[in-house]
Amino acid sequence: MFYYTKMTVLNFYKVQMLIGYFFLYVNAVQDNSNCQCNKLNRQLLFSPREKYCTVNNIKSNTNNVIEEKIKKMVKINAGTYFIGTDNPVFVADGEGPKREIVLDNFYIDKFEVSNKEFMMFVKATDYITEAENFGDSFVFEGLLTQTTKVNKVVSQAPWWLLVKQTSWQHPEGPNSNITFRMEHPVIHVSWNDAVAYCNWIGMRLPTEAEWEVACRGGLSDRLYPWGNKLMPKNQHK
């Protein structure tokens, strides 16, 4: 998700699983009170966490690209919105309390940044992601085969497993690839990686408030689009 001047946002992580990859990876190196991913003692490579994105030495690739992108975006109108919750699952994540915020107009992508789009960025800039530099990344346990070697487990989030040689090109470890997943959302992308992509495409990441308002899709006080139960009548939606 990114901004054009101050009003255009691309969508880097709209689905919940992708959010998991993205935020676990970033918060792991910054917050000693989170899910204990920080126990890995990784060092932050570049910039502080939020603020508007202007980073590093990645040359911008704007011109006609942004105009084409705007055609695939939706406008979120300026207004007053409620974000957060009074019943957070993980208090340390800072999702509470429920609060009122005011936003300006902005545009956000209808779809996540794909593997294909991210590959264009990598080829144009020779960019190396943090997962590739670290040599590992977190994988959801349900996506792993029994033969995949797990390096470490997060104590308070045991469903996230650290697997060596995992990256955006090898999302479930060294024996996986994205050959037939070029239109899938790119994953194993850290905050710094996303900012570098933003800088190249000439836009920016959304703020947390912008993201929450956009992903709610106009719905209020609902955990899911269909209501507050994950499986109403014991059925997946």
- The predicted model scores a pTM of 0.72
Question: Does 196 fall in a domain?
Answer: no
Question: Does 139 fall in a domain?
Answer: yes
Sign of CA pseudo-dihedral 5, 72, 18, 176? negative
147 and 179 both lie in a single domain = yes
The C-alpha atoms of residue 130 and residue 135 are separated, in whole angstroms, by: 8
Written as one letter, the residue type at 51 is: K
Question: Does 56 fall in a domain?
Answer: no
Helix/strand/coil for 33: coil
Range of the domain at 92: 66-111+203-230
pLDDT at 63: 57
Domain tally, the chain: 2
Report, as ranges of residue numbers, the positions in the chain whose pLDDT lies below 50.
1-9, 11-56
Question: Does 34 fall in a domain?
Answer: no
pLDDT in tens, 50-63: 344 444 455 656 55
78 and 183 both lie in a single domain = no
Question: Does 193 fall in a domain?
Answer: no
The C-alpha atoms of residue 61 and residue 28 are separated, in whole angstroms, by: 30
Query: In the chain, what is the straight-line distance between the N-terminal and C-terminal CA atoms, in Å?
Result: 26
